[in-house]
Amino acid sequence: MAKNRDFSENYLVLKPEDATGFDLVRILSSRDFGKRDFFSSSFDEGELIVGFRQRWILLVSVFLQKILIRLKTPMAAVGNAVELGLNYPPANGGFCRLLFNFFAGRLVRPERSSETFTSIIGNLDKRFDLDLNFQKHHTENKNNNKYASLAIMASKLSYENQAFVQNIVTHHWQMEFLGFYSFWNDYQETNSTHAILFRQRSGGGGGTLIVVAFRGTAPFDADAWRTDIDISWHQFKGVGKIHRGFMKALGMQKSDGWPKELRRRRCREFAYYRIREELKTLISEDEGAKFILTGHSLGGALAVLFAGVLAMHEEAAVLRRLEGVYTFGQPRVGDSHFGDYLKAKMDFYHVNYYRYVYCNDLIPRLPYDDWTFSFKHFGPCLYFNSRYNGQVLEEEPNKNYFSLLHLVPMTLNAFYELLRGFILPWSNGDQYKEGWFMKLFRIMALVAPGLTNHCLSDYVNITRLGRLSLSPSSSIHPRE
């Protein structure tokens, strides 16, 4: 795999599609697997993966990715069926009307491209209206960011289809819809990366605000889940190690990594290059315009990485207009060197970085914070518990998630969250009422604690109900 050396100092690349059953057994039984087809590294054989713990993490990543490769088609089929089923009642005027139309032979089939068709994510939490007070600070402390509520709703909206997004942005939010994009992944050879752009011309303090929201991991999207659990990385000189799966999703080129400009005209569109050019055009048209990057789950990782590649390419004019990066349930993107590099760049250009983590959410605790694979968060964590009380921490509690010590407290917390779903509407209003689909997820979480903590419902709630406590030494790097 010599071509990887052309654009990165060091690398570790997994190709699970090439791993055999014998390879999986060999990972745990021997250190001598460096020359296998599924594993490629710039390090000498056996130099990098030395202990049982490292081999176990490697095995889990390869094994789960192989399963997802096999399940890609059936997962998509199940997801499509569930999504379609959830949209049949509203398309027919409600459940009772649905039954009437069925027996009368007048059943209306929902159109996936219509402005009323909602995703599984949208059915888990049906709120799409902005918090009326989103332009104000949402916590008692003046350092909390006023754009958090807008950012989470944009992240949530990014999961929907183009007609739905355009309708919400234009008619409900009274903002200007700029684009809905499906971008090419050169490695998966499909348009698997999605983002939306819209603009508010006079809000948030008087200037034009452009919002870039990346779509996260959909429940039945096998390719997106593969990206989340891949532990491959590339190391760039002076920058650090960066998660390979996230770079592939953002637009890394197979042959030359991250050229500042694409060396040949490509018929496909890549997320980083297209959005960068869109932003350059938009900010050149408005001297007072600024923009934010946001996303939930995988979308949060892409938002952080987008800022990182802008810094690598020394796009100073664009970075000066970047107000902040707002992520929700974001996985780890790179190692500590990458974190130090990007934090220094953000400080230099006065860019805010807000990383929200709700309670026992699994995804912010992946990939593992391990010395071999080097994945680390950087900057402060805005951590909120199940009562929506927040703290600014260096790292979320139980940072690698899988711990028998935390199993009982997580199970008790899942039971509390189920009960809380009945209490919140009574104490805070109907906008906090959870539907039957979300309640079903809450029940499932009693068996798999933390399962529902990654859903957007709680992330929306913490931007509206959350209270963030800051110690005198805490800082979330607000822009004055």
The per-residue pLDDT for range 443-461, each reduced to its tens digit, is 988 888 877 899 999 999 9
**What is the band of 139 on the pLDDT scale with cuts at 50, 70, 90?**
very low
Distance CA 357, CA 462 (A): 10
Average pLDDT along the chain:
88
CA–CA gap between residue 301 and residue 347 (Å, rounded): 19
Q: Give residue-wise pLDDT tens across range 320-339.
A: 999 999 999 999 999 999 99
Alpha helices in 105-234 (DSSP H): 120-124, 148-157, 162-167, 222-229
So what's the pLDDT on residue 387? 95
Domain regions of the chain by residue span: 121-219+273-469
- Dist CA 252 CA 7 (whole Å): 11
Q: What is the arithmetic mean of pLDDT over 367-393?
A: 88
Identify the residue with better confidence: 235 or 28. 235
Q: Flag whether pLDDT at 404 surpasses 80.
A: no
Average pLDDT over residues 82-88: 96
The encoded tokens of residue 327 equal 């992520």
User: For the segment 336-373, what is each residue's pLDDT rounded down to a tens digit?
Assistant: 999 999 999 999 999 999 999 999 999 999 887 766 66
Q: Return the structure tokens found at 345.
A: 């760049």
Helix (H) or strand (E) holding 11: strand 10-14
Please state at what angle helix 52-91 crosses helix 21-29, rounded to 10 degrees: 140
Average pLDDT over residues 83-103: 94
CATH code for the domain defined by 121-219+273-469: 3.40.50
Read off the pLDDT of residues 295-326 as tens digits, 9 standing for 90 and up: 999 999 999 999 999 999 999 999 999 999 99
Can you point out the beta strands (E) in 95-254?
176-185, 190-200, 209-214, 233-236, 240-243
In the block, which residue shows the tokens 């034009």? 208
Give the model confidence (pLDDT) of 1-34 as tens digits. Answer: 334 445 787 888 888 998 888 888 888 776 665 5
Q: Nearest-CA neighbor of 386 among 328, 469, 453, 437?
A: 453
Q: What is the distance, to the nearest Å, from the Cα of residue 284 to the centroid of all Cα atoms in its chain?
A: 29
The residues that are catalytic are 297, 361, 454
What are the distances in angstroms from CA 124 to CA 121, 434, 442?
Answer: 5, 8, 11
For the chain, counts of helices (H) and of strands (E):
15, 13
User: What's the confidence (pLDDT) of residue 10?
Assistant: 87
Q: What is residue 420's predicted lDDT score, i.e. its pLDDT?
A: 95
The residue with greater pLDDT, 270 or 141, is: 270
